[in-house]
Chain A
Amino acid sequence: MEYIVIVLSAILVNNIVLAQFLGLCPFFGVSSRISTAAGMGGAVLFVMTVAAIVTYLISHYILIPFDLIYLRTITYILVISSLVQMVEIILKKVSPPLYQALGIFLPLMTTNCAILGVAILVIQNEYTLMSGVVFAVAHSIGFTLALVILAGIREQLELVNVPEGMKGNPIILVAAGLLALAFMGFAGIV
């Protein structure tokens, strides 16, 4: 039951992009095509889950026992950036097709605040390791969902005659706003 609540809340009610404003750079940066959006989503799913597990272990076995919580930001960001590098190297060796699919998105992961944000939220919400993993997976699904929908809207937008001043980023932001409005309709289901 607890897991269902976490999943519904993360994907629909508190969507990481549309309600919590995390991961906006890739949200606007790589949402021009549905296929790239889906690839980005896959990479986020992968890195976010691994990062949540690793940072959870670091928090509970190093930072908390030694009373070093104040080093959280610095350790997490270092761990995440080395993790991204490592995943990139391993993927290249072990699974070239997967590397082809996700590779170009991996370097963007380090400065994706959704990854660090979720890692911190898992600790702040005092989740267990299992709930933390569910939380991370659900959030990356929510991220992918928002990204793919926006990409779909943007593909359609190209065919539309937009007023001069609103061309480019402004109209995309307004579309994202309307999307967020639609997601607000889910408020209260959990």
Chain B
Amino acid sequence: MAKRESTFFNMVLALLTITLVASASLGFIYELTKEPIEAARAARKNEAIRAVVPDFDNNPTEEQYTIEVAGGELVFYPAKKEGELVGTAIETFTHRGFSGTIKLMVGLLPDGTIHGIEVLEHKETPGLGDKMESDKSDFSAQFEGEHPEDFQLRLRQDGGDVDGITATTISSRAYCEAVQRAYDVYMDKDADVSYELPSREEAVEIVLVNFANNPLREEYQVTAGGNQYTVFPGRRGRSYTGLAVDMPSDEGYIGPIRLMVGFDSEGVITGIEVLEHEETPGYGDLIENARSDFYKQFIGLNPGEDNIRLKEDGGIIDNISGATITARAYCDAVRSAWEVFSEAQNM
């Protein structure tokens, strides 16, 4: 075959064919390698969790929750054995590594004692900074079994209790910072149960969708089952688009739970926010939207047609392990909120 002339048609044809074949084959390879890549990532994470907390029998990645902090976020993986919290693996970070961000998995026992630390990600110099990896030196071993309250997470030269890696002060210092961050946030989370719950005003705007009015200005009272409840209607133009119900309930495990439940005009749930609760940290507080995906299973359901009860009670809602009473009270409150919604429709 003779060499083709550089006519406009030939050039476009050649470029087009080659890019099409290239992107098609890349798409194919991408589909092929997608699963192994994700599996490799998940395996790495699970391995790290397993290495830093005591024996567990739940699936910590299913119960993970995230807390935003300055500069990034920490991911918490609670490890439980027979429903009891035995430790928490915390994915933490520092931006002060010698070559940028370092990600660690720090395992803390429920009282805050360090059980183990693994490096998830780093770009430190091979042969130097990478000695913080647990299989390359004993650096990470000195943290095991220490409680940060009596073990200062600073290098000896900075007045702390940590022996740095020779010639790698910056990486070692960054490592300590990441561990300290995990510990601080972990302890803080336990001290402050009502971690950033939304206000009533914020909650109304989150749970309602598709509205153009100010529902807070149009609040009114609805009587259902002998009690008065406050509701907030959503409107777009003149048409009615939904209703947010402020729903207190006093049947939580420890004390009252208060929800804000949003419905569209058909009674389908558009959103739920927890306004107040006093449930146990690590268990009952997983009803908070920021701590687990429990609330997501309600969205799109219509309590008039769907059975909003726990699966063990014959319904369709997945329980929160270790917090049945809290989860049940949550479902009850959602159903009551729907009663209020249908009363409001009939008014």
In their complex, do chains A and B touch, with some C-beta pair under 8 Å? yes
Chain A interface (Cβ < 8 Å from any Cβ of B): 14, 70-71, 74, 125, 187-188
A188 to B99, CA, bound (A): 10
Q: Are B26 and A71 in contact (CB under 8 A)?
A: yes
Q: Are A74 and B98 in contact (CB under 8 A)?
A: no
A125 to B121, CA, bound (A): 13
B23: A residues at CB distance < 8 A = 71, 74
A187 to B100, CA, bound (A): 12
B344: A residues at CB distance < 8 A = none
Q: Which residue of B lies closest to A75 (CB)?
A: B23
B100: A residues at CB distance < 8 A = 125
Q: Are B26 and A74 in contact (CB under 8 A)?
A: yes
Q: Which residue of B lies closest to A5 (CB)?
A: B95
B27: A residues at CB distance < 8 A = 70
**What is the minimal beta-carbon distance from A137 to any residue of chain B, in angstroms?**
19
B30: A residues at CB distance < 8 A = 70
- New A-B pairs, 12, CB < 8 Å, besides A71-B23, A188-B169: A14-B99, A70-B26, A70-B27, A70-B30, A71-B26, A74-B22, A74-B23, A74-B26, A125-B100, A187-B98, A187-B170, A188-B170
**What is the minimal beta-carbon distance from A114 to any residue of chain B, in angstroms?**
17
Interface size for chain B: under 10, 10 to 19, 20 to 34, or 35 or more residues?
10 to 19
B99: A residues at CB distance < 8 A = 14
A71 to B30, CA, bound (A): 9
Chain A residues touching B, majority SS: loop
**What is the minimal beta-carbon distance from A11 to any residue of chain B, in angstroms?**
16
A188 to B98, CA, bound (A): 8
Closest 5 CB pairs of A and B: A70-B30, A188-B170, A70-B26, A71-B26, A71-B23
A188 to B96, CA, bound (A): 9
A135 to B80, CA, bound (A): 44
A71: B residues at CB distance < 8 A = 23, 26
A188: B residues at CB distance < 8 A = 169-170
B26: A residues at CB distance < 8 A = 70-71, 74
Q: Which residue of A lies closest to B34 (CB)?
A: A70
Q: Which residue of A lies closest to B99 (CB)?
A: A14
A70 to B122, CA, bound (A): 22
List residues 154-190 of chain B with CB under 8 A from any CB of chain A: 169-170
A14 to B98, CA, bound (A): 9
Most chain B CB atoms below 10 A, which of A70, A71, A125, A188: A70
A14: B residues at CB distance < 8 A = 99
**What is the minimal beta-carbon distance from B71 to any residue of chain A, in angstroms?**
10
A97 to B23, CA, bound (A): 40
Q: Which residue of B lies closest to A188 (CB)?
A: B170
A70: B residues at CB distance < 8 A = 26-27, 30
Q: Which residue of A lies closest to B33 (CB)?
A: A70
Q: Mark B269-301, 1 if CB is under 8 A from A, else 0.
A: 000000000000000000000000000000000
**What is the minimal beta-carbon distance from B292 to any residue of chain A, in angstroms?**
25
Instruction: Name 14 A/B residue pairs within 8 A (Cβ), A-sorted.
Output: A14-B99, A70-B26, A70-B27, A70-B30, A71-B23, A71-B26, A74-B22, A74-B23, A74-B26, A125-B100, A187-B98, A187-B170, A188-B169, A188-B170
Q: Mark B100-111, 1 if CB is under 8 A from A, else 0.
A: 100000000000
Q: Mark B19-63, 1 if CB is under 8 A from A, else 0.
A: 000110011001000000000000000000000000000000000
A125 to B100, CA, bound (A): 9
Q: Mark B242-266, 1 if CB is under 8 A from A, else 0.
A: 0000000000000000000000000
Q: Which residue of B lies closest to A125 (CB)?
A: B100
B98: A residues at CB distance < 8 A = 187
